[in-house]
Structure 1
Amino acid sequence: MNFDPENKVVKLCAQGMQAEAEGKIDEANACFKQAWDAATNDFERVTAAHYCARNQPNPLINLQWNLDALKYADAIKEDSLKGHYPSLYLNIGKSYENLGDFASAGTYYQLAADNAIYLPEGGYGNMLKAGIADGLKRTGLKPFSNAVLDGLISAWCERKDLRPLSLVLSAYLQCMGTESDINKLITALSYLSATRCLSAEEQGKVEEIIAELAG
């Protein structure tokens, strides 16, 4: 589905985000509500509902808007919308978490993780992956993890060894266990291995992790 920056609903939501950035929350919410009232198709309803969920002091209303956004997204049934689902599921998970329903929250965080393969490369996708991983942890579920690497990272943090942390930590925290994310982690670990900045013991562990992940 093509994104049209001139679409009336999109423009109203953009105005709302600008007002929100300026601290004008009431004005922002008014723009989002205008966008909802102006929506005439499912794509516009997804967009408006997503923004109407923002700044809602009542967690039940926040949840309902997020569920509405998902409902209208499901009605569209277009592959081009797949990249939106991680965010939709993440928002619903957080809504349930705010209501204390950790079982439902975990379900939606896991759905967000399962759909993370559709996220774009770069800052936006990385930000969502980090949020999904945090949500999984808070609800008692495990994102991708490796016990040996956990131990290495703990040791590097303890001795404030910034070089290995800078090379590996971002790829590890954003890893959802998908093939693409695993490959990124292997690449990061391979760069670290090539620097030969670790002790022989830690170097050996890194090489073992690479072999395990590549296998």
Structure 2
Amino acid sequence: MDQNDADEVMASIGHALELGQAGDRAAARDALTELWHRIGDTGDALHRCTIAHHLADLQDSVADELRWDRRALAAVTDLRNERVQQHDVSLRVRAFLPTLHLNLADGYRRAGDGERARHHLTVASPLAVELPDDGYGAMIRDGFARVTWLLDTGSREPLAAP
């Protein structure tokens, strides 16, 4: 896949996310699922990670969400800084890890698997230094605290509204 095709896939991902933000979760999910099938399980790691990460948020069941979150984490192991920086020069692969582990921790918490949830929080916590010092980084750091508190209270309620 050449750079123009890669840019087209990222643009398509962005379009799908706009559908979801406009309230059409089903259309967003369908568009991202179609992209996933187009690039395949062994396609570009940035595409796989990005699509799986966003597809997780569009699922109706925690089990399906976890399946996509696991795919996103698996894809990031194939990703290199050089590739993500072709998309955005400020990105670093290690900065993806706190979010991916936080998503898994929250999913496992809501599924009632506290042991796996705590494992992902333990892995993610020291990686928080990789997060940018901005609103996004603050949101993820706050997410660690909120998921930990919800886990400690035994809550299986969603972290945030879908």
SS at match of 2:148: helix
Q: Aligned equivalents of 2:25 and 2:11: distance in 1?
A: 17
- Counterpart of 2:120? 108
Which structure has the greater CA radius of gyration?
1
Return structure 1 stretches of 4+ with deviation > 6 angstroms.
none
How far is the alpha carbon of 1:98 from its aligned partner?
1.4
SS at match of 2:133: coil
* 1:9–1:48 contact (8 Å) kept in structure 2: no
How far is the alpha carbon of 1:78 from its aligned partner?
4.5
1:99 pairs with one of 108, 111, 122: 111
Specify every segment of 5 or more residues in structure 1 that has no aligned partner in the other structure, as ranges.
142-215
- Counterpart of 2:85? none
* Cα deviation digits, residues 59-86 of structure 1 (max 9, x gap): 1111111001101111235592000001
Q: Aligned equivalents of 1:57 and 1:116: distance in 2?
A: 28
2:59 pairs with one of 56, 59, 80: 56
- Counterpart of 1:36? 36
How far is the alpha carbon of 1:34 from its aligned partner?
2.3
1:130 pairs with one of 129, 142, 146: 142
- Counterpart of 1:72? 75
Matched AA of 1:46: C
* Cα deviation digits, residues 166-199 of structure 1 (max 9, x gap): xxxxxxxxxxxxxxxxxxxxxxxxxxxxxxxxxx
* 1:10–1:35 contact (8 Å) kept in structure 2: no
Identity of paired residues, percent? Answer: 23
Q: How many residues align?
A: 137
Tell me: higher relative CO, structure 1 or 2? Use CA pairs within 8 A at least 6 residues apart: 2
How far is the alpha carbon of 1:96 from its aligned partner?
0.5
Q: Aligned equivalents of 2:69 and 2:48: distance in 1?
A: 11
TM-score (norm 1): 0.59
How far is the alpha carbon of 1:9 from its aligned partner?
2.6
Q: Aligned equivalents of 1:67 and 1:7: distance in 2?
A: 24
Q: Aligned equivalents of 1:23 and 1:97: distance in 2?
A: 26
How far is the alpha carbon of 1:18 from its aligned partner?
0.8
Aligned CA RMSD, in angstroms, stands at: 2.0
Matched AA of 1:9: V
Q: Aligned equivalents of 1:84 and 1:24: distance in 2?
A: 26
How far is the alpha carbon of 1:140 from its aligned partner?
2.9
TM-score (norm 2): 0.77
